[in-house]
Amino acid sequence: MAPIIPDQTFDRGQPSNPTTSPSDDTERCPFCRIVNLYTPYDPISPPEASSPLISPELAAPGPETYVLLSTPVVIAFLDIMPLSRGHLLVCPRRHAPKLTGTTPNEARELGYYLRVLSAAVGRATGVDDWNVVQNNGAAAAQVVPHMHYHIIPRPEIRAQGRWSEKFTMFGRGQRTDLEPEDGERLAVSIRAEVAEILQQEAGDNVAIHAAPVVREKL
Amino acid sequence: MAPIIPDQTFDRGQPSNPTTSPSDDTERCPFCRIVNLYTPYDPISPPEASSPLISPELAAPGPETYVLLSTPVVIAFLDIMPLSRGHLLVCPRRHAPKLTGTTPNEARELGYYLRVLSAAVGRATGVDDWNVVQNNGAAAAQVVPHMHYHIIPRPEIRAQGRWSEKFTMFGRGQRTDLEPEDGERLAVSIRAEVAEILQQEAGDNVAIHAAPVVREKL
């Protein structure tokens, strides 16, 4: 059995290219760029939408980033090519290509916030069903090599006869550009729902409903 | 905002059928049946394959169950209709229809063991790439209403021209029955890899490689 070593290369199983270093990997990584631009905040009292700390334009000239959660360990933001409204990503701040490159603590934190963010996006969109997906490696359709979970709301679309179309291979489905105005509105709402969920369950260990009541149609 | 309440029904958003109770739900749940048949064991020293504690036939007359991990909080076993060799499921012991029905502790434990089981199945199968998928609700293709994560190894199949075929809608792909002999062999190997991973990282907080070396071709 090979010794356990930190996962530092994009291409697992291949030796690192001796002309590059792990820092080259992170310099090229779009998620590391987001991590470096957006500092952590207390998710129970997120910044106002007008705060420069979470300004979508911090990411200029790249695509705007709509931050939903930013802790010392993990960060979540809206996918810029969503498969559905509210499609979001959550990843560790530290660069790790695959799930097996995370630390036990990062893996636990991701598991915890998947649950919180699932509930928050359900409340913010009013959509009851959703998928959680995490792809490791090219054969698994991974595109950005900084490990991340997707949360993808699934509105009831079978009635519209579009089910099979939307459930094609993950990452190759019908994706559309995120509209900045809607991104901003969704991000404000999801940050507020995250705060409310964390406040409500502080101290207890209870299960949470995803979207029992939609407060406002967004 | 509706109060946070435990998620106890299969059909979220609809009132429970007054003629049934939560216990009816768990009596009908195939994963609760597995939970009740297989008691927890220390994953660092799993039972021998011959132990009656993990006998696949405990589940008779139902499909045989190949247990990979069994703690007081979570249980993992091979999918009986795998999308690929090593396709496994991990779920909380307590019945909860969706991810939002888990407790914070369950959500963290699931996050932690997803990482360990990903590494273990990678080592046992020699497959470097994999997907983690978790479906919530009928519109998201959830079939068994006891929340569970899938870990699905993805062998390099593009070279064989079968990529699009295998990556069709999740849950409707090419699935085949699990062969009992192979199930037993895989389960022995994955339980041993889980034990070795947990032993090796006991006490530290390091990242793990999925499959740096395949010890034996299974």
Amino acid at B139: A
Closest among B175, B161, B166 to B129, alpha carbons compared: B166
Q: In this complex, do A132 and B137 lie within 8 Å of one another by their Cβ atoms?
A: no
Mean pLDDT is highest, among A8-17, A52-61, A83-92, B150-159, for A83-92
Decide: residue A72, CB within 10 A, 0-12 exposed, 13-18 middle, 19+ buried: exposed
Q: In the numeric block, which tokens belong to residue B137? A: 């609700």
Question: Across residues B98-115, what is the average pLDDT?
Answer: 97
CA distance linking residue B127 with residue B208, whole number of Å: 15
Tell me which H or E stretch contains A153: strand A149-153
DSSP assignment of A40-104:
---TTSPPPTT-GGG-GGGGTTS----EEEE-SSEEEEE-SS-SSTT-EEEEESS--SSGGGS-H
Strands B88-92 and B130-136: unpaired
CA distance linking residue A76 with residue A190, whole number of Å: 11
How confident is the model at residue B5, as a pLDDT?
Answer: 33
Residue position matching structure tokens 């768990």: B26
Q: In the numeric block, which tokens belong to residue A159? A: 């009635």
Instruction: Work out the number of other CB atoms within 10 angstroms of the CB of residue A160.
Output: 10
Q: Which of A87, A95, A146, A148 is catalytic?
A: A148
Q: What is the pLDDT of residues A158-211, one digit of tens each?
A: 544 444 444 443 444 568 889 989 999 999 999 999 999 999 888 654 566 544
Domain ranges for chain A: 22-201
Q: What is the pLDDT of residues B154-167, one digit of tens each?
A: 997 554 444 444 44
What is the distance in angstroms between the Cα of B65 and the nearest Cα belonging to chain A?
A: 25
How confident is the model at residue A204, as a pLDDT?
Answer: 56
> Which residues from chain B sit within 8 angstroms of residue A138, using beta carbons?
129
Q: Which of A106-110, B94-98, B170-174 has the lowest mean pLDDT?
A: B170-174
How confident is the model at residue B203, as a pLDDT?
Answer: 60
Q: What is the pLDDT of residues A138-150, one digit of tens each?
A: 999 999 999 999 9
Q: Of the candidates A7, A130, A141, which has its C-beta nearest B209's C-beta?
A: A7
Closest among A215, A213, A210 to A119, alpha carbons compared: A210
Q: In the numeric block, which tokens belong to residue A121? A: 């996006």
Question: Across residues A5-25, what is the average pLDDT?
Answer: 44
Question: Across residues A108-120, what is the average pLDDT?
Answer: 98
Catalytic residues of B: 148
DSSP label at residue A137: S
Q: Which CATH superfamily is domain B22-201 in?
A: HIT-like (3.30.428.10)
Q: In this complex, do B139 and A129 lie within 8 Å of one another by their Cβ atoms?
A: yes
Q: What is the 3-state secondary structure (H, E, C) of B37-105?
A: HCCCCCCCCCCCCCCHHHCHHHHCCCCCCCEEEECCCEEEEECCCCCCCCCEEEEECCCCCCHHHCCHH
> Which residues from chain B sit within 8 angstroms of residue A137, using beta carbons?
128-130, 154
Q: In the numeric block, which tokens belong to residue A18? A: 């001796």
Amino acid at A180: P
Spatial neighbors of A62 by CB under 8 A, at least 6 apart, are A30, A33
Closest among A214, A109, A174, A134 to B135, alpha carbons compared: A134
Q: What percent of chain A has pLDDT over 90?
A: 65
CA distance linking residue A53 with residue A47, whole number of Å: 7
CA distance linking residue A158 with residue A9, whole number of Å: 41
> Which residues from chain B sit within 8 angstroms of residue A111, using beta carbons?
107-112, 114
Q: In the numeric block, which tokens belong to residue A150? A: 């997707």
Tell me which H or E stretch contains B119: helix B104-125
Closest among A126, A44, A40 to A76, alpha carbons compared: A40
Q: Which of A49-53, A154-158, B28-32, B66-70 has the lowest mean pLDDT?
A: A154-158
Are the C-beta atoms of A80 and A143 separated by less than 8 Å?
Answer: no
CA distance linking residue B193 with residue B99, whole number of Å: 27
How confident is the model at residue A22, as a pLDDT?
Answer: 61
What's phi and psi for A54, nearest 5 deg? -120, 20
What's phi and psi for B142, nearest 5 deg? -70, 135
Amino acid at A215: R
ipTM: 0.82
How confident is the model at residue B206, as a pLDDT?
Answer: 54
Q: Of the candidates A101, A138, A158, which has its C-beta nearest B129's C-beta?
A: A138
